[in-house]
Amino acid sequence: MATSHTSNQQDLIERAQKVMPAGGFGNFDSGVVIREGNGARIWDEDGNEYVDYLIGSGPMILGHGHPEVVEAVQAQLTKGTTFFANNAAGIELAEEICNAVACADQVRFVSTGGEADMYAMRLGRAHTGRDKIMKFEGGYHGMSAEAQMSLAPEKLVNLPVAVPDSAGIPDSVRDEMLIAPFNDIDFARSLIGEHGDEIAAVIVEPLQRVVPPAPGFLEALREECTKHGIVLIFDEIVTGFRVAYGGAQELYGVTPDVCTLGKIVGGGFPLAAITGKADVMANFDKAKVGDDRFLMQHGTLSGNPVAAVAGLKTLEILRRPGQYEKLFAAGETVMGSITSHLNAAGHAHTIAGHPSLFNVVFTDAPVRNYRDVLKGDTRKQAQFEAALRRNGVFKSSGKTYISLALTDIDLALTDAAVAEAVKALDD
């Protein structure tokens, strides 16, 4: 499964560079063009085959082209692809989300996770009448101005000062953001205690990228937000229906006021959701809250029926007995391969995350937050990732997504690729 570039892919890369900034969609390495996917495998335009641990950045938990999802989508296509008005599949999907997710009394659909997070923060402001948002350094919440504060700062300033990660963001946005280190309970309590009457919402990935919450951390956030009347938002775009059917709030036993969902709920199609407690979600209903507290939200493709039927079928399959056990077992196998080969070669490392979603960090120190991840050996990390790609394993530099489509053969090929990647590392 070694990879190479031939004229077909190179031609597409050169064409893309002429018509797209930086030659791509802005999401991933523009030096590869994917032709197709099936199960846990993908092929690029030169026919190079990979075991896929990117899986569309998480949505394809069942693998590519799952026949039951394809059948459901094909049936909907003949009935219409979008209506703007309500549709039965979208209503049924909202019902299933409310059944599955602890905080979800009601659901409002959008098309992307970034939209969902943007509206969730705005919802906190509408509900409380306050302006400030507290987030955690290194936490990813989409592309809004608020979300692009201290996502991946290269300059590490004294917290809670926010650092914009993009041009085009007014200083006034930075002034309304408070940044805290993930997993630091004392810092979070102190910051909320000082600014509690100004903070509209605290937004957090309960599993931040691949860093799990420390014992008591999410519980402390819940307690402080309740005490100060702050809306607690769990960004479960990634963890929703992945780490458990009810998401991270089921896994960790902490219920937020609002959570955002994406990726898996659309079954590989553009769909995301804001969910939450009825009193908070009421701000989407002008008849209930009046003009001053009403949060306007429209989207041409929100609740799209094709995405809704794909999401419904995906969730139906995930509810079947043994699915999560299979998913986690595959992840534990890959984690074990990485640990075994790196230990044998004497490379210090930590695997951070959950069996369904994780990554290796080349450090022997605990990984509890963004700055701990930065302390890892980035040169060795880059060598490892590049060698995996050369040996037929496709993933992002920051995450390893596990899918239910992985077979024993896929896992064996992955183990062989990891062994070769470890050989490529500098001592």
Burial status of residue 276 (CB atoms within 10 A of its CB: 0-12, 13-18, 19 or more): buried
Is residue 252 among the annotated active site residues?
A: no
Per-residue pLDDT of 2-36, as tens digits, reads 555 557 899 999 999 999 999 999 999 999 999 99
Residue carrying the six token digits 């896994």: 251
Higher-confidence residue of 333 and 4: namely 333
Q: Supply the mean pLDDT for the chain.
A: 96
Given strand 393-394, what is the order of strands in its sheet? 34-38, 41-44, 49-52, 393-394
For residue 39, give the 3-state DSSP assignment. strand
Q: Are 185 and 192 in contact (CB under 8 A)?
A: no
Burial status of residue 141 (CB atoms within 10 A of its CB: 0-12, 13-18, 19 or more): buried
Active-site residue among 50, 53, 140, 252?
140
Q: Are 9 and 33 in contact (CB under 8 A)?
A: yes
Is residue 401 among the annotated active site residues?
A: no
Number of other CB atoms surrounding residue 41 within 10 Å: 21
Active-site residue among 52, 235, 372, 410?
235
Record the tokens describing residue 279, joined without a space: 């009193």
Confidence of residue 156 (pLDDT cuts 50, 70, 90): confident
Per-residue pLDDT of 285-312, as tens digits, reads 999 999 999 999 999 999 999 999 999 9
Active-site residue among 132, 135, 263, 395?
263
Q: Are 76 and 87 in contact (CB under 8 A)?
A: no
- The domains of the chain, with CATH numbers, are 7-65+322-423 (3.90.1150.10), 67-318 (3.40.640.10)
- CA–CA separation, 360 vs 384, rounded Å? 10
Is residue 263 among the annotated active site residues?
A: yes
Q: Are 41 and 403 in contact (CB under 8 A)?
A: no
pLDDT of residue 3: 55
The count of C-alpha atoms lying within 13 angstroms of the C-alpha of 363, restricted to the half-sphere facing its C-beta, is: 15
- CA–CA separation, 413 vs 417, rounded Å? 6
DSSP assignments along 116-179, one per residue: HHHHHHHHHHHHH---EEEEETT----SSTTTTBSSS-SS-PPTT---BSSTT--HHHHHTEEE
Number of other CB atoms surrounding residue 84 within 10 Å: 12
Residues in the chain: 427
For residue 35, give the 3-state DSSP assignment. strand
pLDDT of residue 154: 83
Q: Residue 214: is its pLDDT beyond 90?
A: yes
Q: DSSP assignment, residue 367?
A: -
- CA–CA separation, 381 vs 349, rounded Å? 10
Q: Are 257 and 233 in contact (CB under 8 A)?
A: yes
Going by their DSSP bridges, the two strands 41-44 and 231-236 should be labelled as unpaired
Record the tokens describing residue 96, joined without a space: 């299933």
pLDDT of residue 426: 82
Mean pLDDT of 351-368: 96
pLDDT of residue 1: 58
Residue carrying the six token digits 């085009």: 168
The share of the chain scoring above pLDDT 90, in percent, equals 96
